[in-house]
């Protein structure tokens, strides 16, 4: 525990991607920094019960399904694969432990102090830390960075019940594969975790209030994405509202009705995953002690990451912008560099989004619908992975790349990818857009052959109508 007499240049409340990156960058810049984290491990939701463990299960479940359906066609005879769920969960836990220990190492390397406990702002330049044993310590600091992240949003009428009605954390550690899994919410978390359990043998039904999956996704991509997931075996009930839930010895009974109004009915499942989004975590944070307020949704507003109160900053999910780990990292670097007297800025329009299903979906910038609504004239290039040589050889032909560019200047306004390794491919688009690049810049840049990245180039060629391979 920190010495009460100790004073810091910056104290960060929260040890997730925003918090730990802020701490590391502060250490690099020579600031005396401490990070307060109430978990037993660093890394926040992302490393412990979010991004990292979900990717471990996505990868393992993809290999499990491939072994059962695809290996024989490739000339690999392995017989019928047998699921060892305990080992799958153990390797997930080992990977998570290695990552969280890595953050501890980086703290030591950059002379950052980890203060274990729950942080609460006690007043200007004062943060109270409550340790696991209940003891309290107050640390002094010139700057406070709020990096407390978010938590799953509950659904009215559907209370969480351990093992039956679960959130994303529960879905990462189920002790057995449910026969019937109902996912409420067709966003990133619901579709990723629904994909995991479908591949492992569950019958998965997704219930979504809206008429399209992946809220905010380009409509053409969303349609193709839902069609692909349906082909894989997921069932979708779109435009449907869940109004009540009842748990009994055999499972969960949900009462649902059309979002537009109509007769109610019931559906049953063994397990229900509530994945309707996340909300800022500010409970017990002591914001009132420094005059910081939240909006009606719980977010803390920011002006260049400043809360409006001297020496109090806010980053990540608890403030506005995409609720994504990599956005929190960008906020973290910008906030610390501003504290250190450097320039710091984050362009939220250039934060990419990824859904790590198989195939993946990734996008950055504007959708067709947004450009049309804004009255922006644009040109479009599109290229299917079915015509990409690497994707064809690898039997990964679902999906396409779409490039949207300004009709007058050719500046890239948005790139949308549904296909293999989309999350890796989107980086090229982000860099191009960050430098104000044109579709021609991508189209006339040599890409290695054969690679999936050529699909991005071919789509960019299509903006001017000279796609060569389709």
% of the chain residues with pLDDT over 90? 98
Q: Do residues 144 and 300 touch, judged by C-beta distance below 8 A?
A: no
pLDDT in tens, 340-355: 999 999 999 999 999 9
CB atoms within 10 A of CB 132: 10
pLDDT in tens, 428-459: 999 999 999 999 999 999 999 999 999 999 99
Say what the pLDDT of residue 1 is: 45
pLDDT in tens, 199-240: 999 999 999 999 999 988 999 999 999 999 999 999 999 999
On the question of pLDDT at 78 being above 60, the answer is yes
Overall average pLDDT of the 9-25 stretch:
98
Q: Do residues 11 and 36 touch, judged by C-beta distance below 8 A?
A: yes
pLDDT in tens, 288-304: 999 999 999 999 999 99
Say what the pLDDT of residue 215 is: 83
pLDDT in tens, 355-399: 999 999 999 999 999 999 999 999 999 999 999 999 999 999 999
CA distances from 138 to 8, 42, 241, 290 (A): 12, 21, 46, 15
Q: Which of 236, 233, 245, 194 is nearest to 212 (CA)?
A: 236
Which tokens is 263 given?
Answer: 């007769």
CA distances from 160 to 205, 237, 238, 426 (A): 18, 21, 22, 36
On the question of pLDDT at 113 being above 90, the answer is yes
pLDDT class for 5, splitting at 50, 70, 90? low
Which tokens is 103 given?
Answer: 């953050």
On the question of pLDDT at 4 being above 70, the answer is no
User: What's the CA gap between 423 and 310, in Å, rounded?
Assistant: 38
pLDDT class for 330, splitting at 50, 70, 90? very high
Overall average pLDDT of the 254-270 stretch:
97
Measured in Å, how far apart are the chain's first and last C-alpha atoms? 63
Please give the mean pLDDT across all residues of the chain.
97
Q: Which of 43, 40, 33 is nearest to 111 (CA)?
A: 33
What lies within 8 Å, CB to CB, of 322 at 6+ separation is 348, 351, 353
Q: Which of 179, 244, 238 is nearest to 206 (CA)?
A: 238
User: What's the CA gap between 320 and 150, in Å, rounded?
Assistant: 12
Full 3-state SS string of 450-462 = CCCHHHHHHHHHH
Q: Do residues 192 and 54 touch, judged by C-beta distance below 8 A?
A: yes
Q: Do residues 243 and 213 touch, judged by C-beta distance below 8 A?
A: no
User: What's the CA gap between 380 and 464, in Å, rounded?
Assistant: 8
User: What's the CA gap between 456 and 463, in Å, rounded?
Assistant: 11
Say what the pLDDT of residue 6 is: 74
Catalytic residue IDs: 449
pLDDT in tens, 142-157: 999 999 999 999 999 9
């Amino acid at each position: 525990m920190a010495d009460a007499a100790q004073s810091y240049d910056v104290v960060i409340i929260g040890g997730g991607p925003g918090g730990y990156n802020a701490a590391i960058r502060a250490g690099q810049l020579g600031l005396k920094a401490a990070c307060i984290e109430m978990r037993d491990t660093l890394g926040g939701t992302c490393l412990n019960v979010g991004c990292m463990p979900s990717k471990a299960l996505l990868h393992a479940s993809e290999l499990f399904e491939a072994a059962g359906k695809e290996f024989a066609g490739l000339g690999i005879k392995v017989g019928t694969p047998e699921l060892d769920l305990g080992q799958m969960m153990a390797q997930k836990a080992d990977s998570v432990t290695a990552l969280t220990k890595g953050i501890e190492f980086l703290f030591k390397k950059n002379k950052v102090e980890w203060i274990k406990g729950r942080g609460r702002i006690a007043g200007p330049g004062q943060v109270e830390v409550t340790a696991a044993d209940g003891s309290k310590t107050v640390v002094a600091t010139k700057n406070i960075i709020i990096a407390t992240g978010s938590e799953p949003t509950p659904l009215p009428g559907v209370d969480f019940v351990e093992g039956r009605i679960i959130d994303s954390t529960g879905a990462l550690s189920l002790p057995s594969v449910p026969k019937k899994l109902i996912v409420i919410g067709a966003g990133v978390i619901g579709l990723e975790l629904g994909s995991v359990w479908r591949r492992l043998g569950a019958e998965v039904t997704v219930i979504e209030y809206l008429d399209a999956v992946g809220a905010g996704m380009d409509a053409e991509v969303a349609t193709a994405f839902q069609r692909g997931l349906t082909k894989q075996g997921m069932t979708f009930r779109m435009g449907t509202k869940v109004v009540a839930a009842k748990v009994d010895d055999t499972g969960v009974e949900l009462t649902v009705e059309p979002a537009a109004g109509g007769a109610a009915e019931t559906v049953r499942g063994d397990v229900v995953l509530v994945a309707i989004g996340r909300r800022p975590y500010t409970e017990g944070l002591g914001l009132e002690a420094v005059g910081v307020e939240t909006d009606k949704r719980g977010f803390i507003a920011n002006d260049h990451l400043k809360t409006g109160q001297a020496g109090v900053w806010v980053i990540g999910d608890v403030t506005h912008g995409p609720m994504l780990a990599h956005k929190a990292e960008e906020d973290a670097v910008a906030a610390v560099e501003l504290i250190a007297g450097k320039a710091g800025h984050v362009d939220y329009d250039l934060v990419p989004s990824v859904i790590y299903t198989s195939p993946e979906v990734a996008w950055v910038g504007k959708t067709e619908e947004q450009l049309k609504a804004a009255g922006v004239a644009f040109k479009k290039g599109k290229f299917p992975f079915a015509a990409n040589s690497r994707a064809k050889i690898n039997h990964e032909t679902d999906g396409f790349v779409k490039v949207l560019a300004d009709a007058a200047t050719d500046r890239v306004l948005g790139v949308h990818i549904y296909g293999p390794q989309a999350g890796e491919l989107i980086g090229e688009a982000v860099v191009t857009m960050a430098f104000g690049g044109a579709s021609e810049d991508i189209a006339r840049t040599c890409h290695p052959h054969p690679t999936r990245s050529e699909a991005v180039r071919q789509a960019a060629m299509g903006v001017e109508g000279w796609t060569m391979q389709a």
